[in-house]
């Protein structure tokens, strides 16, 4: 059997390597239009930033090593330019002209293209994307002399690039069109990343659109929608990617959303002998069922392996994706798994958010750092998605929750999860357990929740601050009264008089004291709800509300 793979990086090379492990007698040809195969594109920002100093470390294999170890026929600078599905041939542009290659099975792994917005001046040589080894080489050249840079787009790669350039001593501005950086993260959690960027001297412009890039002799001027022009020696465009489905489209294969390639549960396209893997593929989101391409390395690698299995009759069904992703931004980490709240709303799925800010390990053990965690639960208790930001322990919680979602766990399950604990590592009640317990309380009627987004100063409710009088004086939700949690039992008459039959909305700093008060008042028959995440979340989620003091 002859297998031809188009694209020689994550998905394509995983597929080729697995195919060889399954079939010693297969002929496996990998076509890669670039100079490099099997390179670590996820490592490129760290190479630009100087953390990875050995360029060769990024180049995991060469055609020679792949021939020696896996007996693969890897052809670089070979671009597939056309497919004839009926004849089972691929037209290939090579350094020596065009040739036609026949196949028994064809695997498309062309990845995604950087989306470059059509902005005047974007083709200036000082403007770059970061996607390939040559891109990283070009940036390395420029960063040596650069003093200032603008990064357009504050997604995962944009933020990694900001960190890399800052680490190289460059003054960086980031310009993001959405109203907050890292748009897949909820705005209240993005707040902590913004604070970290600002602390590290990065200038952050959110809700801002780049309108033009004006070339000057010694720099470019990046003009944004309010007319400001930011000088920069270097501009990095990181405005997302689109699936590179052109070959498939030309061959008449069925496409999915945003030009991705539609595949079945094994990775087979609409043609029996053509398969597709990685960034180019239309995935199906878990929980919402929404079809979307998802450009993540883990998915590409697993797709590649699974398609090789399917070609040799070992079909394993691909799973709906959670799009679990993580990014480091200087001293902070942000990670998410499962649909965002916006996606849940768009899909019409009822959910409630549990927000908490525990330490990443036991508070009494030195060095505990706050972990800002949101877990979204369905009204049946099922864990739907989660996001977290913090200095430590973010990856572990999101990975546990990603596993919980995949396993179909609910609040009871995660409240009972037995997670490794000793004081330097976690708490006897891990943040994941705590999220489950809060959800149990909410679902069981012990702790009705309200969310910061619901706050309306004109609402006919009593806002009750349960913190100390000193904390209250420093700043509180406008219109609140203050009864510290230790006094609530003695001041019930006063509270009832103030409420005058209205519902009571409690809050405290991060949730615990408000919880105690809510339990007391619930047992007194009051109509009461408790702010999920406390004032910590409120301040992050509602920058439009100025606290009263």
Q: Which residues form the catalytic set?
A: 42
Nearest by Cα to 28 from 37, 36, 19, 41: 19
Is 33 an interacting residue with respect to ligand FAD (CB under 6 A)? yes
Contact segment (CB under 6 A) with ligand FAD among 34-42, 386-394, 396-404, 541-549 equals: 34-42
Cβ burial 17-42 (10 Å sphere, 16+ → b, else e):
bbbbeeeeebebbbbbbbebbbbbbe
Is 131 an interacting residue with respect to ligand FAD (CB under 6 A)? yes
Q: How far is the CB of 166 from ligand FAD (least distance, A)?
A: 16
Please answer whether residues 343 and 294 qualify as being in contact, where contact means their C-beta atoms are separated by less than 8 angstroms: no
Of the residues 3, 4, 70, 109, which one makes contact with ligand FAD according to CB under 6 A: 109
Of the residues 38, 41, 333, 510, which one makes contact with ligand FAD according to CB under 6 A: 41
CB closer to ligand FAD out of 335 and 409: 335
Is 6 an interacting residue with respect to ligand FAD (CB under 6 A)? yes
Q: How far is the CB of 272 from ligand FAD (least distance, A)?
A: 21
CB closer to ligand FAD out of 246 and 428: 246
Is 82 an interacting residue with respect to ligand FAD (CB under 6 A)? no
Contact segment (CB under 6 A) with ligand FAD among 32-40, 212-220, 394-402, 412-420 equals: 32-40
Nearest by Cα to 439 from 511, 341, 335, 391: 511
Q: How far is CA 278 from CA 12, 27, 111, 137, in A?
A: 8, 22, 6, 24
Task: Quote the CA–CA distance of 186 and 511 in Å, as a whole number.
Answer: 19
CB closer to ligand FAD out of 245 and 359: 245
Give the CB-side neighbour count of residue 404, counting CA atoms within 13 A.
31
CB closer to ligand FAD out of 303 and 526: 303
Residues 312 to 371 in contact with ligand FAD, rule: CB under 6 A: none
The two three-digit tokens of residue 56, written as one number: 């060769």
**What residue number has its CB nearest to ligand FAD?**
278
Q: How far is CA 467 from CA 35, 188, 512, in A?
A: 62, 21, 10
Is 279 an interacting residue with respect to ligand FAD (CB under 6 A)? yes
Nearest by Cα to 201 from 149, 155, 130: 149
Residue 299 CA to chain centroid, in angstroms?
13
Contact segment (CB under 6 A) with ligand FAD among 224-232, 276-284, 440-448, 532-540 equals: 276-284
Contact segment (CB under 6 A) with ligand FAD among 2-10, 175-183, 204-212, 497-505 equals: 2-10
Nearest by Cα to 536 from 512, 503, 500: 512
With tokens 């690698």, the residue in question is: 301
Residues 133 to 162 in contact with ligand FAD, rule: CB under 6 A: 157
Is 130 an interacting residue with respect to ligand FAD (CB under 6 A)? yes
Q: How far is the CB of 390 from ligand FAD (least distance, A)?
A: 18
Where is 283: in which H helix or E strand?
A: strand 282-284
Please answer whether residues 154 and 241 qualify as being in contact, where contact means their C-beta atoms are separated by less than 8 angstroms: no
Cβ burial 228-253 (10 Å sphere, 16+ → b, else e):
eebebbbbbbbbbbbbbbebbeebeb
Is 7 an interacting residue with respect to ligand FAD (CB under 6 A)? yes
Is 297 an interacting residue with respect to ligand FAD (CB under 6 A)? yes
Contacts with ligand FAD by CB under 6 A lie at 6-12, 31-34, 41-42, 44-45, 79-80, 109-111, 130-131, 157, 244, 247, 278-280, 295-298, 300
């Amino acid at each position: 059997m002859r297998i031809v793979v188009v694209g020689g990086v994550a998905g394509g090379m995983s597929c080729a390597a697995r195919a060889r492990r399954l079939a010693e007698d297969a002929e496996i040809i990998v076509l890669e239009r670039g100079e490099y195969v099997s390179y670590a594109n996820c490592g490129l920002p760290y190479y630009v930033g100087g953390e990875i100093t050995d360029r060769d470390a990024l180049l995991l294999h060469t055609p020679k090593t792949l021939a020696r170890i896996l007996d693969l026929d890897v052809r670089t600078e070979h671009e597939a330019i056309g497919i004839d599905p009926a004849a089972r041939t691929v037209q290939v542009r090579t350094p020596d002209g065009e040739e036609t290659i026949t196949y028994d099975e064809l695997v498309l792994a062309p990845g995604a293209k950087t989306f470059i917005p059509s902005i005047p001046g974007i083709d200036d040589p000082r403007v770059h994307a970061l996607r390939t080894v040559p891109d990283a080489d070009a940036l390395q050249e420029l960063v040596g002399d650069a003093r200032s840079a603008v990064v357009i787009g504050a997604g995962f790669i944009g933020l990694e690039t900001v960190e890399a350039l800052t680490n190289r001593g460059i003054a960086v501005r980031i310009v993001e069109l959405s109203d907050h950086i890292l748009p897949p993260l909820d705005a209240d959690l993005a707040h902590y990343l913004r604070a970290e960027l600002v602390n590290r001297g990065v200038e952050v412009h959110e809700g801002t659109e780049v309108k033009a890039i004006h070339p000057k002799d010694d720099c470019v001027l990046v003009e944004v929608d309010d007319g400001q022009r930011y000088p920069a020696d270097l501009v990095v465009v990181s405005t997302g990617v689109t699936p590179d489905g052109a070959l498939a489209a030309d061959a008449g294969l069925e496409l999915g959303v945003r030009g991705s390639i539609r595949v079945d549960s094994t990775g087979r396209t609409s043609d029996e002998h053509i398969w597709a893997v990685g960034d180019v593929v239309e995935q199906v989101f878990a929980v919402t069922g929404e079809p979307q391409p998802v450009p993540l390395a883990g998915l590409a690698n697993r797709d590649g392996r699974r398609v090789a299995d399917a070609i040799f009759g070992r079909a394993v069904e691909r799973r709906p994706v959670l799009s679990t992703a993580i990014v480091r931004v200087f001293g902070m980490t942000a990670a998410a798994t499962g649909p965002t709240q916006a996606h849940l709303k768009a899909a019409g799925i009822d959910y409630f958010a549990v927000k908490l800010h525990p330490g990443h390990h036991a508070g009494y053990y030195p060095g505990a750092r706050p972990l800002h965690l949101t877990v979204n639960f369905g009204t049946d208790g099922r864990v739907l998605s989660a996001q977290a930001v913090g200095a430590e322990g973010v990856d572990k919680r999101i990975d546990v929750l990603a596993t919980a979602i995949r396993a179909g766990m609910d609040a009871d399950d995660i409240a009972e999860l037995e997670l490794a604990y000793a004081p330097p590592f976690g708490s006897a009640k891990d943040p994941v357990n705590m999220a489950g317990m809060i959800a149990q309380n909410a679902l069981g009627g012990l702790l009705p929740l309200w969310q910061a987004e619901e706050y309306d100063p004109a609402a006919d409710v009593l806002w009750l601050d349960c913190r100390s009088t000193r904390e209250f004086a420093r700043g509180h939700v406008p219109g609140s009264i203050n009864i510290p949690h230790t006094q609530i039992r003695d001041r019930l008459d006063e509270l009832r008089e103030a409420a005058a039959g209205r519902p009571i909305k409690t809050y405290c700093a991060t949730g615990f004291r408000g919880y105690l008060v809510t339990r007391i008042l619930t047992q007194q028959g009051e109509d009461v709800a408790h702010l999920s995440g406390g004032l910590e979340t409120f301040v992050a989620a509602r920058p439009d509300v100025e606290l009263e003091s």
